[in-house]
Chain A
Amino acid sequence: MQHRNRTPMVLGLALALGALLPQVAEAGKGSSYQSIRNAIGSNNRDTILAEIERAEKLPCGPCFELVMPLVDHADPAVRDVAAWWISKRAIREQVRDDMFARLQGSDSVAARNAAEVLGRFMHPDALMPLELAIHDDGLSEEARAAAATAVGTIGDFRGKDVLEGAVTSESAAVRAAAAKSLREIRGNVDAVAVVDLLSDEEESVVREAVLTVGALREAAGLGALSDVVRDNTLSASVRRDAAWALGKLGDGAAREVLTTVSREDKSMLVRGAARAALQTLR
């Protein structure tokens, strides 16, 4: 019986011919305690990321002590790769509980980092603690917004309710993060909850609401989007996004307003977006 898998053959040839053949790179292989320690010691983001990625499945108990402190690193990308590495190990559950405790504490930076870790863990068991953190007035806006972002990163459909409850927050940062995260929820196809945010007093919130209404093609946003695209008190980038969103909705009812904007808006950016949107109307 003839049989073979391709990879072993390629590896065999590579060994036989040495440098004449390409590197055969294996993802997540070849790291060690020493190399992780050196990489962390470099404090070079790319080096740390590459080495932690190589240690993806390294069976190394002592390595946990090296990686765990990185969840509080100054660089978000380093925090993220550390959480990713930890999430692949059963000790994740202990770290998760520690992060839950952080969310309940008063240290907002620690809570922000905890929210990011729980987001990267991508497990819906964090939804309830994150929901509580979103509404915790004792935490900074940054930490609370990070909690809303984490709900989107987890992406579980049950997070939709959590986020719809967050879009009414008194914090603009939380409203914006919740509006953004709603388009990250798997299986979510409506943005009714953010339509009211299209007239929010904070431009950052309006922008995220516009993008979510467009991304989810929320028909109920048509009228408000038509107002946003003509509102010259808003920045050109928000008006541009509103034009894009109207194009995504594809409703021919937006033709008149988009035509007007494509001719009269003071910004070339907005006029271009309106012209592009007109191409997509039914």
Chain B
Amino acid sequence: MRRTRTLALLAAALSAPALTSCGGENETQDEGLRVLAAGGISELAFISRPKRTSVGDVFQYTSFSVDPKSANIMRMRTVSGGGEAEPITPFGTGEWPNADIMAMDVSFDGQEIVFSARLETDATYNLYRIKIDGTNPEEPGKKGPELIHSGPYDSVYPVYLPNDRLFFMTNETEQEGIKQFRDEYERGLTAQAATIDKRGGSLQFGPRNLSHRVSPTLVSLQDGRGQILHTNWDHLTNVNEGNLMVMNPDMTGGAEFFGKEGSGLANSYLKARQVNESQFLAIATSRDRTFQSGAIILIEHGKNEATSTAEALTPDVPLDREPSYDKIGRYYDAYPVTNDAGKLTHVLTSWANGPVQSDVAAGGMNEEGVDYGEGAGPPDFGIYVLDPKTNGRLPVYNDEDMWDVLPMAIGRSRPVPTAPAGATAQTPDGTALIGALDVRQSSLGGAPADGIFRVRVIEGFSAEEGIPNDFGLSEADGALLLGEAPVVHQGDHSFAAFVPEGRPIHLQTLDAYGMSMLNEDRWFSAAAGEQRFCGGCHEERGKTVTVDPGLSEAMGNGPANLALAYADRKLPDAETADWSGMMGKLIDPADPTFTDAPRVRGIPWDLAVQSVLDDAGCAAGGCHDGAQSAANPCVSITNDMPAGEPPAEPITWCLDLRGEKIDFTYGMMTGNYTRSHISMLLMSGMTGEEDVEIENLDPARPYQAYMVPQSARDSILIKYVQPEQVFPTRDPSKLAFAGELKVNGEAYAPSHPNESTPGFDAATHRALTAEEKYLLIVAADLGGQYYSLENAPGQSGYGN
């Protein structure tokens, strides 16, 4: 049955008067079908699933509803005046229960569909295949889908690959007993890459991101090279974006595609589709509240992100999470309709009129005080053909009870791309090889070009490791230091390292003091035996399509082996560890003084950082002890309260480097951390907060950002302690911040404390050693976390 909502028709009529002035509903509908037929689409399929209000977030992949009826995949002809939409899948009929269907893909020959559905009797989404005539591919002639992958995990976003394989996203992990990453912010189990034989065998898991990956599609790049284009949630410290990335069909070779480096238009891009060799459609929108819909953009893909551009084909549609407008609405997806030359002529799309925003849909007052009354209800996505030149929409199909989404051509074949595999290398068991030919090469403007001595490799983890939802006042995820690989600084400036397979890592280039110079704020990972060698650090990839690591001096010297077995990621006996010795070994592994020191992993604040502060007497002898004094800048923190509410009591906080945890006075304000942690991270933690008044009690002694997550260089604490040169050789006479001025205009002293420091007592206070300074640098550059695996709460018995 073909149904077209009057409102949608009205919207189309108003936005495309030339089309609708010629006739009524059926005529405009038939016109849409004729456009599709002219574009070579004789049949299309789409998902018809119940409307809902619970799926505002673009990374939400488990929203479920079968109310008022089951979802199904529908089939519709476009030629000969079109036809009624008929279900391909049987859900809600006969022996088949109601189901929700969240994504699908069409086979290369156009005769089969793979989809992800959750039956109402189930708790998870599973993978199925079905012929477009509704029969089972493995039971010829019998109606119904073939179940190919199930279990107590969600298997979503399936995509056909060459060689009878399927790509999909799953929250299953490869090994029992290891929990899937759980995003500490959104709290969802993360969706990760996997492939499987189309009959259900040979399941393989890809290297993992620390957050979700969603909305994949198979595209064909240069020379027919198949790549999986998908949305990657880049969520690292203050970065929170959904960008487009590609990977090989074997899940190796992940690389940026669009959206990073300031090349994009919005916060998130999803549901990308290939138009031709260089152009791609995608939906651009906010991360949340927009029902995974937004503006349609046309991406012109350049040599890399920095040279890629995008044009909004629907410029009136908001790119943020604000409500859209009547007759403007938002688009859920975009499937290209092209001419014989491969140029985009129209877009087959799902569109809903109105705000298409979750606040408005649900009603009530939003957080900014706008009252949406009873609410508009969920948006109503229907199938349309969009003319990108006029933004006129021709209606094709709409069931008012359902979201009619993700239309795709069926019944026609498409070329099968090749399935390139990532470069491989001889690596120790469980590791991959990473490196760069020249760390000075970068497409990032202003990136360091010299003085790079090491590359720091940091592994990420999240709350699934038993750290209760928070790693400290920092926004950073859990971090452990895999190690620091040397850069051939007197040669070709290359580096190479073996790193654990499949675990999310990010990199920093280090200066002569061990401080991060360039912090790559994106996670990446590599498969076992994979070789991920770049020309530079974020170099222009168009310059280095192929690199030969064998040519690098770092490979000639032998890669640094940063392998670390999963079970060994936590330092045993961290309570009694020699943290200075560990840092000494990190700085110079050949130094015999530190031969017996264990390897650095996490930096547990209360054990490692606090031991430095305590041993140097920082909080002793009337110094940084939280008392309001010359040594301790103080701030007053007050929450602005709305009219009618009693004013909030100001909270005063003074610099305090003691190791005691805070008392209840501050318990509603912040986490259960030591005073030193709160003191160091307080200011960076409050950056960006609204309606919080922060007043320095003594403007001449302002409270400062003593530790800036992932930037030791910008941390006031580090400036005070004056890191000394450690690379390429130790030289205590060369100081990182010599001559740099403090906020009061005085230069930072060569050491702190020193004999001229007020209150200095040589019996109590001392300057830090090079190893202690390095520990503070590492703590800051890792992210300023309080918790690591070593001090996860409750690990040494109930109640601690």
Contacts and interface: CB of A to CB of B under 8 A. Distances in A.
A9 B446 contact: yes
A94 B664 contact: yes
A27 B238 contact: yes
Contacts of A43: 364
A272 B147 contact: yes
Contacts of B176: 183, 188-189, 215-217
B365 A38 contact: yes
Given A35-B367, A269-B147, A280 B446 contact: no
Contacts of A189: 176-177
Interface centre among A6, A42, A88, A277, by most chain B C-beta atoms within 10 angstroms, is A6
B710 A60 contact: no
Contacts of A128: 798
A32 B692 contact: yes
Interface stretch (A18-26, A105-113, A140-148, A221-229): A18-26
Nearest to B178: A186
A80 interface: yes
Interface in B221-245: 235, 237-241
A53 B794 contact: no
Contacts of B799: 125
Contact of A237 (B122, B199, B670): B122
Given A89-B669, A272-B146, A214 B151 contact: yes
B671 interface: yes
A41 interface: yes
Interface stretch (B19-27, B274-282, B479-487, B636-644): B636-644
A231 B688 CA distance: 60
Contacts of B203: 280
Nearest to A14: B262
B669 A45 contact: no
Contacts of B359: 42, 44, 46-47
Contact of A156 (B517, B640, B671, B794): B794
B790 interface: no
Interface string A28-40: 1111111111110
B54 A46 contact: yes
A7 B521 contact: yes
Nearest to A39: B367
Given A22-B262, A46-B56, A47-B367, A124 B794 contact: yes
Contact of B690 (A4, A32, A44, A56): A32
Interface string A81-98: 100100111111110000
Interface string B679-722: 00000011111111000000000000000001101100000000
A5 interface: yes
Contacts of A45: 54, 362
Given A41-B365, A53-B185, A279-B202, A64 B668 contact: yes
B466 interface: yes
B16 to A, nearest CB: 27
A275 B642 contact: no
A24 B521 CA distance: 13
Contacts of A180: 152
B377 interface: no
A30 B672 contact: no
Contacts of A27: 185, 235, 238, 240, 475
Contacts of B267: 22-25
Interface in A254-282: 267-269, 271-273, 275-277, 279-280
Nearest to B688: A29
Interface string B447-470: 111110000000000011111111
Contacts of B686: 59
Interface stretch (B137-145, B606-614, B764-772): B137-145
A6 B444 contact: yes
A244 to B, nearest CB: 5
Contacts, number: 341
B667 A89 contact: yes
A122 B463 contact: yes
Indicate the size class of the contact surface on chain A.
35 or more
B680 to A, nearest CB: 14
B666 A90 contact: yes
Interface centre among B642, B689, B795, by most chain A C-beta atoms within 10 angstroms, is B689
B469 A84 contact: yes
A62 interface: yes
Contacts of A187: 177
Contacts of B152: 180, 183, 211-212, 214-215
A84 B664 CA distance: 19
Contact of A42 (B186, B239, B363): B363
A94 to B, nearest CB: 7
A58 B685 CA distance: 8
A71 to B, nearest CB: 14
A279 B197 contact: yes
B355 interface: no
Nearest to A273: B147
B147 A240 contact: yes
Nearest to B781: A5
Nearest to A60: B639
Interface centre among A13, A24, A38, A57, by most chain B C-beta atoms within 10 angstroms, is A57
Nearest to B449: A2
Given A33-B642, A47-B364, A215-B152, A22 B259 contact: yes
Contacts of A120: 469
Interface centre among B152, B197, B359, B793, by most chain A C-beta atoms within 10 angstroms, is B152
A42 B366 contact: yes
Contacts of B689: 29-32, 58-59
A241 interface: yes
B600 interface: no
Contacts of A32: 639-640, 689-692
A29 B645 CA distance: 23
Contacts of A273: 147, 150
Interface in A192-217: 211-212, 214-217
B573 interface: no
B171 to A, nearest CB: 12
A267 B358 CA distance: 39
Interface in B413-453: 444-451
A158 to B, nearest CB: 8
A212 B667 CA distance: 39
Contacts of A24: 241, 267
Contact of A61 (B518, B649, B671): B649
Contacts of B199: 275-276, 279
A61 B516 contact: no
A7 B262 CA distance: 10
B464 to A, nearest CB: 7
A235 B95 CA distance: 12
B303 interface: no
A116 to B, nearest CB: 13
Given A27-B475, A128-B798, A215-B152, A38 B238 contact: no
Contact of B56 (A50, A92, A125): A50
B306 to A, nearest CB: 12
A89 B490 CA distance: 49
A33 to B, nearest CB: 5
Nearest to A53: B185
A127 interface: yes
Contacts of A25: 240-241, 267, 286-287
Interface string B489-526: 00000000000000000000001000111111100000
A266 to B, nearest CB: 9
Given A184-B179, A211-B151, A237 B119 contact: yes
Contacts of B179: 155, 184, 186
7 contacts: A27-B475, A31-B690, A60-B692, A87-B469, A128-B798, A186-B178, A237-B122
Given A90-B668, A91-B667, A268-B139, 7 more contacts: A4-B448, A5-B713, A44-B364, A46-B56, A63-B639, A122-B463, A276-B149
The 7 closest A-B pairs by CB, nearest first: A276-B200, A279-B201, A42-B364, A272-B147, A32-B691, A44-B362, A35-B367
